């Protein structure tokens, strides 16, 4: 039995090594994320703003909301080109086009929302009779 002991020790070590490699692989990801802060024109944070990242080729959207201090993260994004839209009541929509993400990217996009009051009122005209 003593001759077989070194072989069984090697098998145990090999199994432990495989389990450690598998645990390390589980912790890795190929996804990217977009993160930032949402503020208004004066620099005050805008909580609860909706941020939507849409992959332009597949039209798949992932959304998030800014927290009480204006921070947001849109996570678990696949590689691709995105259109990022941020909106909140009383503000103009913010759009960032052609945001290219590769695997494991963490892209920072800080959002500055302008007041909707600065949007010119649209004039409606009656149709000619």
Residues 47-62: tens digit of each pLDDT: 999 999 999 999 999 9
φ/ψ region of 83 (left if φ > 0, alpha if ψ in -120 to 50, else beta) reads beta
What pLDDT is stored for residue 29 in this prediction?
76
- Sign, CA dihedral 75-94-65-54, equals negative
Which of these, 112, 8, 99, lies nearest to 56 by C-alpha position? Answer: 99
First to last CA, the chain: 105
Per-residue pLDDT of 70-119, as tens digits, reads 999 999 999 999 999 999 999 999 999 999 999 999 999 999 999 988 65
Residue 45, sorted as left (phi over 0), alpha (psi -120 to 50) or beta, turns out to be: beta
Residue 44's pLDDT band, with cuts at 50, 70 and 90, is very high
pTM assigned to the model: 0.70
Q: How confident is the model at residue 22 (pLDDT cuts 50, 70, 90)?
A: very low
Domain-by-domain residue ranges, the chain?
32-118
Instruction: Estimate to the nearest angstrom the gap between the alpha carbon of 46 and the chain centroid.
Output: 18
Confidence check: pLDDT of 66 > 70: yes
Give the pLDDT of residue 9. Answer: 62
CATH number of 32-118: 2.60.40.1120
d(CA 106, CA 82) in angstroms, rounded, equals 13
Region 4-13: what's the mean pLDDT?
A: 60
């Amino acid at each position: 039995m003593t001759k077989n002991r070194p072989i069984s020790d090697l098998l145990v070590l090999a199994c432990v090594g495989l389990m450690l490699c598998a645990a390390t692989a589980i912790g890795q990801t190929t996804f990217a994320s977009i993160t930032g802060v949402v503020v208004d024109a004066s620099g005050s944070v805008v909580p609860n703003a909706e941020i939507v990242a849409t992959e332009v080729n597949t039209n798949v959207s992932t959304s998030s909301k800014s927290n009480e201090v204006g921070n947001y993260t849109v996570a678990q994004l696949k590689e691709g080109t995105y259109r990022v839209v941020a909106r909140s009541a009383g503000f103009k929509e913010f759009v960032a086009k052609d945001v290219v993400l590769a695997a494991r990217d963490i892209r920072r996009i800080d959002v500055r929302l302008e007041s909707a009051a600065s949007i010119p009122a649209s004039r409606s005209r009656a149709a000619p009779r």
